[in-house]
Amino acid sequence: MAANLRPVYGYTVFYVKDVTESVAFYAKAFGYRVRRVDNSNRWGELESGETTIAFTPMHQKETDGRSGVVHIPEPGEKNPVEVCLAYEDVDAAYKRAVENGAVPVSPPEDQVWGQKVGYVRDINGITVRLGSHVKEPTRQ
């Protein structure tokens, strides 16, 4: 019997300066519920549906010294990751994010592909796209 080799997407892990601060920021700015922060404050998780959003320190014994495992951006360098969060009311989500410490990048705008999209940066410099669900084209 062959094993099922189809993966299940389990986690997105952000390497951050401060785990508890990042978890609290995402809960407040984007409306997530905190699942847990461990006693060492080296791991935190948010409830985000089937896939977990997790946070861990940039520097740790498990990854430091392993070439290519974690890319830590230099000061002023943009983080090479974009997180896309879907909302029914993108304008309200953008406003809440900015009011709670997200750095505004571009306000929500309607896009030609049928989605409303706005961008902010989180407290770690990660780009966060706030977008509506893409509408399916009408078939004739």
Per-domain residue ranges of the chain? 1-62, 78-140
Would you state the pLDDT for residue 70?
A: 61
Enter the tokens of residue 51.
Answer: 């896939």
What is the pLDDT, as a whole number, of residue 139? 60
Other CB atoms within 10 Å distance of the CB of residue 98: 16
Bridge partners of 37? 44
Quickly tell me which residue has 């796209």 as its tokens.
129
- Contact of 121 with 105, CB cutoff 8 Å: yes
Question: What is the chain's pLDDT, residue by residue, as a tens digit (140 residues)?
Answer: 666 777 778 888 998 989 999 999 999 999 999 999 999 999 999 998 888 888 888 766 666 665 555 656 677 776 667 889 999 999 999 999 999 999 999 999 999 888 999 999 999 888 999 999 886 666 65
**Whether the predicted model's global pTM rises above the 0.85 cut:** no
The superfamily CATH assigns to domain 78-140 is 2,3-Dihydroxybiphenyl 1,2-Dioxygenase, domain 1 (3.10.180.10)
For the domain 1-62, what is the CATH superfamily, name and number? 2,3-Dihydroxybiphenyl 1,2-Dioxygenase, domain 1 (3.10.180.10)
